Amino acid sequence: MLLSQLPEDLLYYILSYLDYRSLSRLSQVCRSFYRFVNRDAVWKKIAKALLNTGITREGKDIYPLIRLKDRVKFAQNWYSGICRRRIPLRWKTKLLPWLQLDGDTLFLSQAADIKVYHIHKDSGRLQRSPFEVYSGHKGDVCRFVLTDSLLISGGSDGKIVVHSRRSDVPVEFSGHNQEVNCVDAKDGLIISGSRDRTARIWSLTSTAPRDTIPMCDRVWSVAINPTLSSFVTGTACCENFSPLCIWDVERSISLGTLGSDFRRGAGVLDIRFESPFQLFTCGYDTFIRLWDLRLCPRKCAMEWEEPHDSALYCIQTDGNHMIASGSSYYGVVRLWDKRQTECLQFFQLSSDPVSSPVYCLRFNSSHLYAALATAVHSLDFRQNGTQIR
């Protein structure tokens, strides 16, 4: 019996022992093998072990419309740092921009507006001009989040503005008396944190906060647990308290704090839940930390230190092995493999005499976009560094 005549389930099992180079060679044997090896099911085991292939730790596929074979090729470039750098957007005035990715669309805050740019599918470049602009704040937009139907922003005017992505009528929520530093939203629940030392819980049914939680310090970051039962706040750490606190959504009471021995001023600037039990944090103390809520809350499960002692402004994970971080000096973006303690790759994006932090970064399977004070930078990892035919 020929190899190509074996039942498909047995052939899948045999091919699961091959690495990506062997699979690539096998696909060149004949048309029959080419068609079979190009199936996503053949590449899934390999993809799960690599960086940023879109296969999460639970096996969910984030990018089902992109061939897994192509994503495995891109993953080799992420690991090796092979990419093409571009600056698709520039502006003259120094800002504190924030950005979000949604499919082939990039949302970018610039001063009081949030501009929406189309990403060209083939080149990955941004459309020259925004095709939509969201306004409503009297001051700069500090943070914003996207849901399936809404864009929710917090501004230096102390307001939260809720935009429908399908209509032009924004709704203004009032409650904070100083700038809204952070906001998160999931399934109609909105959490905001402010310089006025409060965190506020909102629902879409009222423009007034449902609850106000007094804090001992300025709130820099918030993140809602995927279960919607709790949320975490990160503060400036200027008082003698842990900057990370877990709160019950329904009762608005503290469920405990995370960590100990934070030095004064080690504020938490970004928080990312990766599962209901695990979250990542970063901030002024130069560490990325992984917290497991099932373990002792006083000690993080893992940590990665920024080697040049720079504050970390933002992080994003691929849901599996990769972390990307943005540093406070010279626009440095670092890629980390969670299975290693040392930084995997770094890219210095700012070449100006006065350096800029990476205020925000986002990535998909093939591109990373980073927002600095006067530009958006992109890294394109679809280069021909790895031969997978």
Q: Quick check: helix, strand or coil at residue 187?
A: coil
**CATH for 60:** 1.20.1280
**Rounded Cα gap, residues 289 and 281, in angstroms:** 5
| Same domain? 94 vs 149 | yes
| Same domain? 213 vs 90 | yes
| Same domain? 93 vs 219 | yes
**CATH for 135:** 2.130.10.10
Count of structural domains, the chain: 2
pLDDT (average), residues 63-91: 94
- 23, 51, 77 — which closes off a domain? 77
**pLDDT above 70: residue 345:** yes
- 77, 103, 129 — which closes off a domain? 77
| Same domain? 29 vs 143 | no
Residue 224 has a pLDDT of 98
- Segments forming the whole domain that contains residue 38: 3-77
Residue 162, in any domain of the structure: yes
Which of 372, 297, 364 minimizes the C-alpha distance to 333? Answer: 372
Render pLDDT for 247-286 as a digit per residue (tens, 0 to 9): 999 999 999 999 987 888 889 999 999 999 999 999 999 9
Strands of 132-134's sheet in order across: 99-102, 105-110, 113-118, 132-134
Q: What is the pTM of this model?
A: 0.93
Residue 387, in any domain of the structure: no
Residue 131, in any domain of the structure: yes
Pairwise pLDDT comparison (42 vs 96), residue with the higher score: 96
Residue 386, in any domain of the structure: no
**Rounded Cα gap, residues 270 and 282, in angstroms:** 6
Render pLDDT for 121-131 as a digit per residue (tens, 0 to 9): 877 889 889 99
Show the tokens assigned to 217.
């310090």
- 77, 100, 127 — which closes off a domain? 77
CA distances from residue 326 to 217, 312, 314, 373 in whole angstroms, order as listed: 24, 6, 5, 13
Report which DSSP code applies to 157.
T
Residue 218, in any domain of the structure: yes
| Same domain? 102 vs 185 | yes
